[in-house]
Amino acid sequence: MIGEGEARAHWIDRDTVAWQVDPSCRHCLAFGAGVIRLTSGTLSDEQRGRWPHLASYTALKVDPRDAGLVRAALRERVVAEERDASGAVVAATGVQIPGVLDDLYAAAARARLGPAGRVFPKLSLWAPTARKVELALYGSRGGWWPRRGAGARTLHPMRRDDETGVWSVRGLPTWWGREYTFLVTLHSGTNEVTDPYGLAVTPDGGRSRLVDLDSPALKPPGWDRLAKPPAVPQHRASIYELHVRDFSASDTSVPAGLRGTYAAFGADSAGMRELRALAEDGLTHVHLLPVFDFATVPERRSGRIEPDCDFAALPPDSERQQECVARTAATDSFNWGYDPLHYTVPEGSYATDPDERVREFRGMVAALNRAGLRVVMDVVYNHTHSTEVLDPIVPGYYHRLLEDGRVADSTCCANTAPEHTMMGKLVVDSLVTWARQYKIDGFRFDLMGHHPKAGLLAVRRALDELTPGRDGVDGKSIILYGEGWNFGEVAGDARFEQATQANLAGTGIGTFTDRLRDAVRGGSPFDPDPRVQGFGSGLAGAPNGSPANGTAEQQRARLAYYADLVRIGLTGSLRDYVLPSGKKGSEISYNGSPAGYTAAPGEAVAYVDAHDNETLFDALAYKLPQRTPMADRVRMQVLSLATVLLAQGTAFVHAGSERLRSKSLDRNSYDSGDWFNRLLWDCASGNGFGAGLPPKAENEDRWPYARPLLADPALKPGCAEIGDCRARFGELLRIRASSPAFALGSADEVRRRLSFPASAEGVITMHVDTAGLDPRWSSVTVVFNATPSTCDQVVEPLAGQPVSLHPVQAASGDPVVRESASDPATGTLTVPGRTVAVFVGLPR
């Protein structure tokens, strides 16, 4: 008896089945009324390399006499059987077929799928295992848009190409603008499905809509003449991570009907004025959390139910706020959006009308470009919300199956399988569409380690081929980065060479460096006690008394280790950079892996907070002694952000960190509603701290630590403190942009020019020789003093050199940083406590 969903046999190419069985027994593949005989064989080295997780399996070869049955078999239910000498079945299992489909239908990789054509539309769907495919066309007329729900359904037969397995149909001009689905008839029945390559959908994604993205009706004014801000190489990029709804949902300067939408970016609002100001300071990119069509927010406002509590009237440490949010979490307007439905369609809940999503999305991109900012999309090709969109078309193909046939879900949902040819093609084709048709300037990959390295390189090649003359965009200027984490069923290159941190060295594709994050914040995001301190959170001279920090001796050892991790981060996480200790970055361990892993600084994305885990302000609330004055909290926030903004490589900042943004200690606010995710542009409204205990489902174990903090009014910053943090952040951006010292570009240049003079405990000094590189200054030296006390730092190369505080800091509104001083006779730099000071060497 075959278990539900069980498929332990793997048909890896047209000739070979891998199955853990006794090769001396008789085996076959049974389908419909037919049988394919299998004979004993061996897996070749090439096959073991392509399927490493099956390397120990028995190889069963398709009997050459039955080779002509393979294509027909794949359109039936296939069962692998083991039989005894009498011919009786003694074991049976389902069969995984992605490998044989990729082999037989390799030509499909070159096929054009989805909508095509200008006057006469053509639709194409890859469905090699289908017995029949029909186009279901809805509505009685075309245009932008036809009457919703108008007209009956008509069916149109589609023609199969036997070489590619692609079904296609060509239609009439009156088809444009109409709703459609595909009826895919399989051995198990007929499924009505949307188009995985569709470019538009009806509200909530029930049907695809046939559109031509070049239609003037789908373009905001001036779209074809859009002028972009100048491109910057990845090692110079500074990125601001922003959620579309957060941006304006709480901004009363935005008209009420536009709040939380793409259209809010076109308003003259407090948020847009702030983005323009950040761009003037030197910010280069806005990174948007998922904006493709996702599953968990009703797209029509009438279908949503919002919380109805008077949140502001409740105590700051109350449980009632999170209870109120939880009651409507499934139907309110908020979700991060990491639950893809249609990969190449803009999300409809962010449009004022979901039928206007394409035009309004483009309007948002144009507004951000006009503000001086390029746009990055957060893409989630590693999983889908469910298997409902892809699996009914080619069952068992688009999602990664475990050895027994179950769908892998290590990423939280149904994992896709971009290692399979046509899932990998969908990724590449979708990204090219976003780049060409929506003028997107960069892509951030969610859980990129679940993608093959080869797939990311294919993306890079496809984007590089886009040219301004032919495609309207310069594909080579598009930046790529993502989460190179190594876990799950693919960990350790178990199924393919992954797109993980270490594996991507030398590719130019960036990965987030958790080493710097943990060293600055302290501990890890997963500590049971959130009070573990780090370089930027009081480990240097401000112990909080938590036993989680260990003894004084252990704290000193950890501080020295964290300082090395910060130094590695400042180099761009280079694997071959030699630290003052004499060790290379790759020789310092981080959770059993090399702390330094990149081949070039642009491959590192430095950050200390992001949408995941607590905001930086909230992490410092847990870790700094509770009695720490707010002014000192601001200084530690700025010092922590400085390790990002003054590092080599890509600088990445979570929206609002420059304003002390808090989520009331929520460490996973993906479904916590507008209340806990507020991004407040008006400092009079505070920073979000004290909004109640964070949602129980993700945070209850930390409530005992959170309650006394949230109830403490001294931990709520006012306008002065928020303004100070924003001003210091702007200064750091301007310093970063003022000199090539912070964008050396290559590992050779970093090794040649950047050094770390010996520093006191809790102090890191970074010296960059800019002679012949910077026309203004011969050197740039940064002192990160994380201690509460003033430090004197001797920098030998500066002895006898004229040195001064960077002009931006010499004119700073911060009187403390202006106290920083230099002694040119000895090369001694004096920096106050909890201060980052930047000194420049003047040419003689």
Q: Please give the positions annotated as active site.
A: 446, 483
> How far, in Å, CA of 383 to CA of 294, rounded?
12
Give burial (CB, 10 Å; 0-12/13-18/19+) of 823.
Answer: middle
Chain centroid to CA 32 = 44
Return the bridge partners of 377, or none: 288, 443
> How far, in Å, CA of 650 to CA of 416, rounded?
28
- Closest residue by Cα to residue 198 from 207, 189, 190: 207
Give burial (CB, 10 Å; 0-12/13-18/19+) of 294.
Answer: buried
Structure tokens at 180: 């459609």
> How far, in Å, CA of 761 to CA of 505, rounded?
32
Structure tokens at 260: 């939380």
749 vs 90, 571, 574, 741, CA distance in Å? 66, 10, 12, 10
Return the bridge partners of 27, or none: 38, 82
Q: At what angle do helices 514-521 and 630-645 cross, to 10 degrees?
A: 160
Cα-trace Rg, the chain: 29
Structure tokens at 590: 């981080």
> How far, in Å, CA of 528 to CA of 548, rounded?
9
Evaluate whether 19 touches 9 at the Cβ level (below 8 Å).
Answer: yes
Which residue do the tokens 């070489």 mark?
163
> How far, in Å, CA of 333 to CA of 674, rounded?
8
Is-cis flag, bond preceding 145, omega within 30?
yes
Q: How many CB atoms lie within 10 A of CB 555?
A: 15
**Neighbour-count burial for 469-499, b at 16+ CB within 10 Å, e otherwise:** eeeebbbebbbbbbbbbbebbbeebebbebb
Q: Are strands 9-13 and 89-96 parallel, antiparallel or unpaired?
A: parallel
Sign, CA dihedral 460-465-466-471, equals negative
Q: Are strands 754-755 and 763-769 parallel, antiparallel or unpaired?
A: antiparallel
Q: How many CB atoms lie within 10 A of CB 560?
A: 12
DSSP 15-70: TEEEESS-TTSEEEEEETTEEEEEEEE---HHHHHH-GGGTTSEEEEEPGGGGGGH
Q: Are strands 189-193 and 114-116 parallel, antiparallel or unpaired?
A: unpaired
Return the bridge partners of 653, or none: 240
Rounded to 5°, angle at Cα 600 from 599 and 601 = 130
> How far, in Å, CA of 483 to CA of 531, rounded?
25
599 vs 233, 464, 517, 577, 587, CA distance in Å? 16, 21, 20, 10, 14
Task: Return left, alpha or beta for 151; rule: phi > 0 is left, psi -120 to 50 is alpha, else beta.
Answer: left
In one-letter notation, the amino acid at residue 141 is R
- Sheet containing strand 835-841, edge to edge, reads 754-755, 763-769, 779-785, 835-841, 803-805
